[in-house]
Chains A and B, each alone.
Chain A
Amino acid sequence: MSTIIEMRGISKSFGPVAALSNVDFRLEPGSIHALMGENGAGKSTLMKILAGVLRPTSGEILLAGKPLSLSSPRDGLDAGISVVFQEQSLLANLTVAENMFLGREPRTRWGGIDYPTMRAKTREALAQLDLDFDPDRQVAELGIAERQFLEIAHGIHANARVMILDEPTAALNAADVDVLNRNIRRLASEGCAIVYVSHRLEEIFELCDTVTVLKDGALVGTRPVSEMNTASLIAMMVGRELSDMFPPRADETGAPMLGIEDMVLQPGAAALNLTVNAGEIVALAGLEGQGQSAIARALVGLHVPVSGHIHLKGQTVPLPLPRESGLLKMHAAGLGFVPEDRKEEGLLLNLSVAQNIALGRFAGVPAVAPASGTRAVVQRMMDAMNIKAAGPRARVGSLSGGNQQKVLFGRALAAEMDVLVIEEPTRGVDVGAKAEIYGLLRDFTAAGGAVLVLSREALELIGLADRIYVIHDNAIAGEIAATEATEHKLLDMALSGGKAENA
């Protein structure tokens, strides 16, 4: 097979931080090439260089054997290199169609934008991904998974020779991943070279034919996937074997910490009840948009349910909570919330790691209180989670995606809550760090805390949780002990919602 892209001796440093050093990377048309590595290994940086977003400090790129000079994303696009970035990059103020065609809008004879064509082609592109949303909808109105799909559609659409997907599935659930994989295979069969970055190992084995592993900015090696297994891949990435991903479950649980009583999420929906006990990790599973997120958010006033009550450590709080002060109120009562969208809702990207973590300790504290005594906690969190940063003063925005997630998580742990509600505990986190985060969560419950967790990864739910509630149509379709749960069972419950019905 001929090589379409060859990156030779790529190095990149951000000030004192060397993100990449002397990395070689080759791509063949028709192949699906996995790019793996721990958080902060340099995967996104390498791909941004290939896309023309960043310029390498040294090294060269060849396109079909000819040197390629990329000074802006435009150049990348013109060279047929299309990217779905790890960080969502859609423009929320524009419509779906406008986002699809931004930068290459079809034009009318008069030089204006040909909106009818744009809409029609948008529909077509979305239909390929089994999607059907109105091209005139504002992206701001889309959910996170819908946005992710739109990004993918945008990338796929570009008729690219090289397609880079940087953690495209981080916000997708199993069913959506299937749709995506189908399309990726189709693209590959049409001769497109695909780079696939993901921390979900099972996807790599299912989809990819070649894997390149980076570690600390350096190339570890490139191998055919057929020669690898999970253990060897992890060893290659982490440098050691991971014995147990998930820590052991607690033997017994304590008194109820968090209870939801007769919560009606939407007019017409059934009332739902659930409890989370001290020492327990309880998960909410289900297909996208069935109400899991609404339940979690209703607990902090970010979703307005019709009615219901919360019981928190014996205290009863009527729903709905006020939008502005709900989160603070619950925070004061000992319930912390970790949002999924770390960029918009989670992190203060221009502030330091230390400040981001320390903020968790200041919630509910009077404004004039001294802001001190956080140094030790910050250090403890950074050590415990192995956060890779230049130091506590490093800007969070300069961290790799997975390390950002750890900072977000560190803040919640530092705040010393009794109950944590977590939307996606390990979005974009590498295997090693995942194990660390799971361990921390278990430590938290072992100390008497309670956790309510949402995740799109069924395996994570099964491995991590004690009990799982499956949500369907804004109501609880069933409850199952994690030890008895399998991916298949969960999907079945999620699809049917108790009855038989197609999704």
Chain B
Amino acid sequence: MTTVLRAAGRIPPAYLVFAALLAFLMWERPQMMNPNVLGIFLRQVAPLGIVVLAQLLVVRVGSIDLSGGGVILLVNYIISANVLPNAPGIAFVAIALGIGTVVGAFNGYMVARRRVSAVIVTLAVSIILVGFVQYLSSGSPPGDVPDYMNDLFDIRFGPVPAPVLFWVILTTCLAAFLNLTVFGRRIEAIGDNSVAAHFAGVPVERTVILTHTLAGLLIGVAALVQTASIAVGSVREGLDLPILSVAATILGGVVFGRGQGGVWGPFFGVLSFALLFVSMTILGVSEPGRLIAQGLIIFAAAVIYGLRTR
């Protein structure tokens, strides 16, 4: 009995928020509780969901990646600003993944090998990338995103939009990868104590670099999905996405160096954000009210969780 209660205490707050909001929506807008509608809501957060996959990886090794905003902006710019006239779609995919991977590897190198503060490196990288896009756009501002990307974004498999399906598959793959491979064990070990992990035969630096690189790759993927969801180019990308991704990750039960929530905890963190935003919009909550409610809900969930895991 006590073990059941203890296990329940470890349920990440994300699940609680998700369940509560879902119940609320069922009661408030029963007509919206059909797969088609929910699918669209989930699609809205698919880019965030993929960034969260990246974030939870690096958070588990005790690091953080705030460079997502810059990577996404740069990819968005390259695709929309006609930098490569008539380039095939696959070229954009390669560029996005390439940029993500290179940035991730660089972050990893700086964090693992040069032992620089992860917050500052990834923030600085983001600032540089944003600045680079600003510089480029002063010569040639971004324009439209190719239509086929929007079309891809709009594909559905039954009620499931393609981006959502893609996101779920990606999450499943990552979960399996972390659960089944040596890599997953090493990540856990490093997160707990990187010095002890080194003594236990974990190639710490290499693993951290690899983790950041993988995170970068995932952010490259997120950049593609995000760009496909926006028909236009942009010159400004807030820090929203990285910070929200950190919040979703922690709400999902993954804390720096600890990964009780696994991969699905943060996944539900993102789902709760999706429902949170939707509920606010449906209720017509004004901007200040929205901020206050958002803060209080996150806070309440975290407190319930915090008290139970103490």
Contacts and interface: CB of A to CB of B under 8 A. Distances in A.
Interface in A355-373: 355-356, 358-360, 362-372
A327 interface: yes
Interface string B189-201: 1001101111111
A371 B192 contact: no
A362 B189 CA distance: 12
A359 B200 contact: yes
B195 A370 contact: no
Nearest to B6: A15
B104 to A, nearest CB: 15
Contacts of A356: 200
Contact of B181 (A327, A355, A370): A370
A371 B180 CA distance: 6
B144 interface: no
Contact of B193 (A324, A349, A366, A367): A349
B200 A348 contact: yes
A411 B205 contact: no
B259 to A, nearest CB: 10
B185 interface: yes
A345 B201 CA distance: 11
Interface string B168-202: 00000000000011111110110011011111111
Given A15-B6, A349-B192, A370-B180, A355 B185 contact: yes
A494 to B, nearest CB: 27
Contacts of A327: 198-199, 201
A356 B180 CA distance: 16
B188 A345 contact: no
Interface in B250-288: 258
A348 B185 contact: no
A415 interface: yes
Contacts of A371: 180-182, 184-185
B183 A368 contact: yes
B183 to A, nearest CB: 4
Given A355-B189, A359-B189, A363-B202, A369 B196 contact: no
Contact of B182 (A15, A331, A370, A411): A370
A358 B3 CA distance: 25
Nearest to A356: B200
B31 interface: no
Contacts of A355: 185, 188-189
B212 to A, nearest CB: 14
A351 interface: yes
Interface centre among A344, A348, A360 (most CB of B within 10 A): A348
A350 B192 CA distance: 6
A16 B203 contact: no
Contact of A367 (B2, B3, B200, B210): B210
A53 B69 CA distance: 45
Contact of A351 (B184, B192, B203): B192
B134 interface: no
A367 B207 contact: yes
A351 B183 contact: no
A327 B2 CA distance: 43
A339 interface: yes
A337 B199 contact: yes
B2 A369 contact: no
A328 interface: yes
Instruction: Summarize B's interface: helix, strand, loop or mixed.
Output: helix
Given A328-B201, A364-B201, A348 B196 contact: yes
B195 to A, nearest CB: 6
Instruction: Summarize A's interface: helix, strand, loop or mixed.
Output: loop
A136 B183 CA distance: 42
Contacts of B207: 367
A28 to B, nearest CB: 38
Contacts of A346: 196, 199
Given A15-B6, A346-B199, A368 B193 contact: no
A355 B188 CA distance: 9
Interface in B106-161: none
Contacts of A370: 180-182
A113 B208 CA distance: 42
A372 B181 CA distance: 8
Interface centre among B180, B185, B188, B196 (most CB of A within 10 A): B196
Nearest to A336: B201
A64 to B, nearest CB: 34
Contact of A415 (B198, B201, B202, B258): B201
A32 interface: no
B2 A362 contact: no
Nearest to B177: A368
Interface centre among A327, A360, A366, A415 (most CB of B within 10 A): A327
Nearest to B211: A367
Interface in A324-353: 324-325, 327-328, 331, 337, 339, 344-351
Nearest to B194: A348
A364 B197 CA distance: 13
B84 to A, nearest CB: 33
B201 A348 contact: no
Contacts of B198: 327
Given A348-B189, A368-B181, A371-B182, A325 B203 contact: yes
Contacts of A415: 201
A49 B192 CA distance: 27
A365 B182 contact: yes
B186 to A, nearest CB: 7
Contacts of B196: 344-348
Given A327-B201, A367-B210, A358 B185 contact: yes
B192 A348 contact: yes
Contacts of B204: 324
A356 B2 CA distance: 26
Given A337-B199, A347-B193, A359-B185, 11 more contacts: A324-B204, A327-B198, A327-B199, A339-B199, A344-B196, A346-B196, A346-B199, A348-B193, A348-B197, A351-B192, A359-B189
25 contacts: A15-B3, A325-B203, A331-B201, A344-B195, A344-B196, A345-B195, A347-B193, A348-B188, A348-B189, A348-B196, A351-B189, A355-B185, A355-B189, A356-B200, A358-B185, A359-B201, A360-B200, A360-B201, A362-B182, A362-B185, A367-B182, A368-B182, A370-B181, A371-B180, A372-B180
Which 6 pairs from chain A and chain B are nearest by CB?
A363-B201, A367-B183, A348-B192, A359-B200, A362-B182, A371-B182
